[in-house]
Structures are given as C-alpha cells and as structure tokens.
Amino acid sequence: MKELAALAQPGVLSNPTTHVEYLTFVLKDQWFDMEEINDALSQLLGIGKSILQKDLTSNLTVSMGFSANAWPILFPDVALPEELHTFPAMKNGRREFPSTAGDIFLMIKSERMDLNFQAAKHAARALSQIADLIEDIQGFKYLDNRDMIDFVDGTENPVADERVEAVLVKEGDNRGGSYLTVQRYVDRQGLWDQQTTEHQEKVIGRTKMDNIELDESTKPAWAHNAKSKVEVDGEEVKMLRQNRPYGNAMEHGTMFIGFAETPSILETSLTQMITADEHGHYDRLLDFVEAKTGANYFLPPMAFIEDRFDD
C-alpha cells in the first residue's frame, strides 16, 4: 500500500488542514494550442513548490482535478479516465442535487490562510489565459472538526492502508489517481436552530456533545449516517471526506469533498441520501442544508502531473 500511496497527489490522502481554498475554473470558449495549455498548467506545479518553501511546517499542497469536459481538451493524447463523467443531476421530491460547471478544480491546503491565498492568487493568474475562475471558497477548521451546525464531521473517514484502499485507483494507466465529487452546501441555520438537540442528533445519527454514534435501536432509518453509508454484500465501502465548513454569520455551509476509487461509490451514497425509499425515508439532513453545486473530477497520479507540467 505504501507504494500505491506514493503515486498519489499528496493532498489527496492527507488529512484536512486548518485552512483550505477550493477554486473552480471553467475553460474559456476558444481554441487553444497545446503550448498555451501546457504553459498555464505547468505554472501550477511551480506555485505550490515555491510557496511551500516559505514555511515547510505549513504542509501546503496544491491538488489538481480535471473534468470529463476538460480532459480531451487539455490532454488530447491521453485516454479519458475510464469512469470519469459529468456529475449527474439528481432530484427527488423537494430535494435537488444540481450539476454545475467546473473543468479544473484546485484544492489548496495548508495550516496558513495567507499562504493558501497567495497560492490561489498566483494560480488564478496562471490559468487566466485558458480558464475563468467561477468560484473561490475558503474553508477552515471549526472547533474540533465540526461543521457549522455543530456536529463533528468526518468521523468515519478511513485511515492508513484502509484510506489508500478506498481512495486510489489500483490498476491501469491511472493507478494512483482518484475520483472526486464536489458539492457546496448552504445551511438553513434558522430552521436547524429551531430543532431540539435530541432531534438534531437523530438527524445526524450521532450525539452532539460527545460524537458517539446512536445505538441501532435509537437511530432512525432516515439519519444522515445511515442513508449516506454504502454497503456491498453487507460490507461498508469507504470513501474519504475532506469536508470543511466555509462562510460567515450571514451565509455558511459545508464543502463536500468526497474522494473514492470510483465515482459510483460517491453517487450511490448521494442517491441513497436524496431518494425517499418505500417508507418515505430519505436523509433528513437535506431538510436543513441545500446543495448549490455538483461536479466530478479525476485527480491523476503525481507522475502524470510532473511528466507533463514540470519544467
């Protein structure tokens, strides 16, 4: 597993940091020559390396993902990753997961907000000739890794070899790469605050103060951690959530950053969440949060990035 882990972009397997910046770019509607594309993308690798040198303890990483739309334009000589496709919009009842624009996705993680900003600023400038920056979200660690509705997030994330097993492609030319689904959620804070702590705990499926999973006899079928869990032949299939809250007192929410070996795991989880079953049960957390974006990306292995972009 160590050999496989070494192939991945460093930010894919590492834990969420105190600060993170998520940048979504859309390719410009024009013809590009490959020299122009490679020049823009090659600058990204240098930006990350240079800014990290300012403070090695910051653990700064710049992870790059590319959409199904962007891949044949940016890498016309490389086959599209086998399972890379546009995020499928989902709707059930009043609940909706939109499919939104996004061709290049950057996740800049570190322990310093200022270094993240500097990297983001230079990355936006580097890509400005080929792509427009349409969303720039600054996430952060909130209390003891809680989301803005005050429950701990990411408790069930896999660790060590289990993480590598869950996240990375293991065979073929894309070995060491990973699939990513990104959604930005906005909290309906006022409605959430009207609920009792007991009901909030049933919605999440864990206790609020101590972050203990509710007993199966107590946890409802519509709890978030029940509806989002993916099982195959009775065994749970893991994904890695690098979620972080974002925003301010006026508007805030969570960036869902889900990595997996295959996008089908992520989409199965989301389908279970949004779809009411024969008993009318869906993920009741969706009564209190609203998805604003949805996009899929593939993060190729580090060797792919270095071979194409390293000057």
Residue 87 falls inside a structural domain: no
By residue range, what is the domain housing residue 117? 2-76+92-309
Instruction: Respond yes or no: is residue 150 known to be catalytic.
Output: no
65: number of CA atoms within 13 Å, CB side?
Answer: 29
Instruction: Enter the pTM of the model.
Output: 0.96
Catalytic one of 103, 147, 153, 187: 153
Q: What is the mean pLDDT of residues 229-255?
A: 95
For 41-78, write each residue's pLDDT tens digit: 999 989 999 999 999 999 999 999 999 999 999 999 99
Residue 295 falls inside a structural domain: yes
Quick one: pLDDT at residue 230?
A: 95
Quick one: pLDDT at residue 311?
A: 57
Give the mean pLDDT of the chain.
96
CATH of residue 109's domain is: 3.30.70.1030
Residue 109 falls inside a structural domain: yes
Residue 82 falls inside a structural domain: no
For 91-117, write each residue's pLDDT tens digit: 999 999 999 999 999 999 999 999 999
Quick one: pLDDT at residue 31?
A: 78
Quick one: pLDDT at residue 310?
A: 65
Q: What is the mean pLDDT of residues 175-200?
A: 98
Confidence of residue 33 (pLDDT cuts 50, 70, 90): confident
Contacts of 297 (CB under 8 A, 6+ apart): 65, 66, 67, 84, 102, 105, 179, 180, 181, 182
Residue 83 falls inside a structural domain: no
For 259-279, write each residue's pLDDT tens digit: 999 999 999 999 999 999 999
3-state SS class at 221: coil
d(CA 286, CA 259): 21
DSSP string, 157-192: ---HHHHHHHHS--SSTTTT-EEEEEEEEEE-HHHH
Q: How many independent structural domains does the chain possess? A: 1
d(CA 267, CA 180): 11
Q: Is pLDDT at 244 greater than 90 in this prediction?
A: yes
Q: Is pLDDT at 215 greater than 60 in this prediction?
A: yes
For 3-31, write each residue's pLDDT tens digit: 999 999 999 999 999 999 999 999 998 87
Residue 81 falls inside a structural domain: no
Lowest-confidence segment of 25-39, 49-63, 170-184, 244-258 by average pLDDT = 25-39
d(CA 40, CA 126): 5
Residue 160 falls inside a structural domain: yes
